[in-house]
Amino acid sequence: MFNMNMKKIILPLLALSIGVTSCKKFLDINDSPNSPKEENVSSTLIIPGIEMNLAASYGNYFRIVGGYYAQQYSQTFGTSNYLDYSRFSSSQTRSAGTYTQLNTRVLKNANTVLEKAKTDGDWNTYLIATTLRVFSIQALVDAYGETPYSEALKDDILSPKYDDGKDIYAGILAELNEALSKVEFDKPILPTFLYPKVGNQDPNPADWVRFANALKLKILMRMSKVQDVKSEVAALINEDMFPLSDVSYANMWADETGKANPFYQEEFATYFGSNQQNVILNLALSGTMEDIEDARLSKFFVKNGSGLYNGGVSGTNFSISNVYTASYFSRPNMSYNSPVYLITKSEIEFFLAEYYARYGSAGQAKTHYENAITQSFLSAGLTAADAADVYEGEYAYDNAKFEKLIGIQKWIALSGTNNFEAWCELRRLKYPAFGTVTGENIYNEETDVFKPELYVPGTLYTPIKYNTELGSGKVLQRLRYAQSSTNSNANAPAVKPDSEPVFWAK
């Protein structure tokens, strides 16, 4: 486990250079002898480092594993870097760097800001730190199921216990509610990468309230199938204070080592001397989107050398093929300045649609469902008319099938913005569901026969080679506890089965 008794980490300004966390070296920031002493470092210096480490972890490693586990990505010809993800496998070592980065460089520093803000009575900065902290903790619960929380990052506890996910959710909801109750709208709030100062215009505390409310909505709706949250969501809806645009780290990246979008830097750039490409479009996604002539496909992925959107099959890397080589497949449409999305307007509308569908207002559910699809198209640079082609066709709203419709359409929408959340919602809503066609039916690794026409749109399929501990026809339900967390921790629980859902997916 990483050292829970470590001195509070303070990130100097060079934290603005971002690192990668999955297989290349990740952000490595140590206290510099030329940096200010801890007691003299302000929140203005610490928060940028918190944000960039969150973007590095959530926008890269979590995006990659989410894309593979949600069957939006597959592995390209000949390479094997993420072939285990393609087979729905997880290991304790693969996520160790990301887990440490979130805990030491996000949560530890967020706690430092919280302490300073509380001492100073700076409740707007308190809201910033709380929101970033809660966002990170929720991601850890959604990925691992259980994680240290009540005893985490305490100097006098070397072996923190792992708390149940539902208890952690209750705790972070309370944290958000406390921070929201203390907001001072008539006082300034620090500029951040998420909400910077624009010209002479200072950021508005209301923007952070809107983000915190969206995060609160996501937490509540994740809980909604295992706990009655109707009144809490109704109160949020009545307040009607959700983000006015997508919440993302955008218009801030540079085409330089350590400063580009983290997923682009990991998978597309050659800053580290590697030309290896791994991630390609998955047949499950391409087949579903092409079936309904979904214009978002052209925004989320790039055509192959023949001008086509070809997807690969989970569980293989086509290594014996002379035909299905790297140039045959489509790649994600990424650039150095692509946003790192934390939550989109489309996601918020999907949650609202689900709320109304579940609690008896089919008309409002339909409105929010159509708004959700429209917002996805608008965010992708398309039109509302393009969106209507989707929700007026095969995926027209039917309240009797709300989970299937919302599940599949949210899966599509998130494929271009937030693959980790797509994996989360796939586990919770259970859609897309598995069909009867398998990866082995679609592609024969021995004969190199590829039959993509067998794929049934709107379904998942068992990978060609798959995680036998999980079994066929199943989505991986959790990441295995990170080795950097369990090593030397006497209170680390036994690793749970890959098929064991996190609390909100049961």
Please answer whether residues 152 and 160 qualify as being in contact, where contact means their C-beta atoms are separated by less than 8 angstroms: yes
By three-state DSSP, how is residue 403 classified?
Answer: helix
Virtual torsion, Cα 331, 332, 337, 338, nearest 10 deg = 170
- 182 Cα distance to chain centroid: 28
- Entry pTM: 0.93
Angle between helices 123-144 and 419-429 (to 10 degrees): 60
Please answer whether residues 481 and 492 qualify as being in contact, where contact means their C-beta atoms are separated by less than 8 angstroms: yes
| C-alpha to C-alpha distances, 454 to 88, 440, 442, nearest whole angstrom | 21, 11, 6
Check the CA dihedral 451-455-457-461 and report its sign: negative
Q: Kindly state the DSSP code that residue 501 receives in the 8-state scheme.
A: -
For residue 496, the tally of other CB atoms under 10 A from its CB is: 16
In a domain, 448, yes or no: no
Q: At residue 39, what are phi and psi to the nearest 5 degrees?
A: -70, -15
Total residues found in the chain within this entry:
506
For residue 389, the tally of other CB atoms under 10 A from its CB is: 16
- Residue the block writes with tokens 């001072």: 184
Please answer whether residues 459 and 435 qualify as being in contact, where contact means their C-beta atoms are separated by less than 8 angstroms: yes
- 31 in the Ramachandran plot: left (φ > 0), alpha (ψ -120 to 50) or beta? beta
DSSP string, 195-256: S--BTTBPP-HHHHHHHHHHHHHHHHHHHTTTS--HHHHHHHHHHT---SS-EEE-S---SS
Please give the chain's pLDDT, 506 residues, in tens.
Answer: 333 333 343 343 334 444 433 333 333 333 444 445 555 678 999 999 999 999 999 999 999 999 999 999 999 999 999 999 999 999 999 999 999 999 999 999 999 999 999 999 999 999 999 999 999 999 999 999 999 999 999 999 999 999 999 999 999 999 999 999 999 999 999 999 999 999 999 999 999 999 999 999 999 999 999 999 999 999 999 999 999 999 999 999 999 999 999 999 999 999 887 788 999 999 999 999 999 999 999 999 999 999 999 999 999 999 999 999 999 999 999 999 999 999 999 999 999 999 999 998 999 999 999 999 999 999 999 999 999 999 999 999 999 999 999 999 999 999 999 999 999 999 999 999 999 999 999 999 999 999 999 999 999 999 999 999 999 999 999 999 999 999 989 999 999 999 999 999 99
In a domain, 323, yes or no: no
List the domain range (segments joined by +) for residue 49: 1-31+41-268+477-506
Query: What pLDDT sits at residue 39?
Result: 59
Q: At residue 154, what are phi and psi to the nearest 5 degrees?
A: -100, 130
Domains in the chain, number: 1
Distance CA 205, CA 126 (A): 11
Please answer whether residues 401 and 458 qualify as being in contact, where contact means their C-beta atoms are separated by less than 8 angstroms: no
Q: At residue 107, what are phi and psi to the nearest 5 degrees?
A: -70, -40
Distance CA 473, CA 149 (A): 33
Distance CA 132, CA 282 (A): 32
In a domain, 176, yes or no: yes
- Identify the CATH number of the domain in which residue 197 sits: 1.25.40.390
For residue 128, the tally of other CB atoms under 10 A from its CB is: 29
In a domain, 279, yes or no: no
How much helix, strand and coil, in percent to the nearest 5, is found in the chain? Answer: 45, 5, 45
- Residue the block writes with tokens 């929720």: 138
HSE at residue 214, side-chain half, CA atoms within 13 A, is 24
By three-state DSSP, how is residue 147 classified?
Answer: strand
Distance CA 434, CA 462 (A): 8
Bond preceding residue 262 cis, omega within 30 of 0 = no
Distance CA 295, CA 268 (A): 24
**Residue 259 buriedness (CB in 10 A; 0-12 / 13-18 / 19+):** middle
Q: Kindly state the DSSP code that residue 331 receives in the 8-state scheme.
A: E
Q: Which residues make Cβ contacts (< 8 Å) with residue 195, sequence separation at least 6? A: 189, 203, 204, 207, 208
Please answer whether residues 262 and 272 qualify as being in contact, where contact means their C-beta atoms are separated by less than 8 angstroms: no
Q: Which residues make Cβ contacts (< 8 Å) with residue 97, sequence separation at least 6? A: 21, 22, 26, 61, 484
In a domain, 289, yes or no: no
In a domain, 304, yes or no: no
In a domain, 172, yes or no: yes
Q: Which ranges constitute the DSSP H helices of 242-344? A: 262-267, 283-291, 297-300
In a domain, 277, yes or no: no
User: What's the N-to-C CA distance of the chain in angstroms?
Assistant: 29
Q: Are strands 459-460 and 433-434 parallel, antiparallel or unpaired?
A: parallel
Query: What pLDDT sits at residue 19?
Result: 40
Nearest Cα to Cα of residue 19 among 54, 48, 47: 54
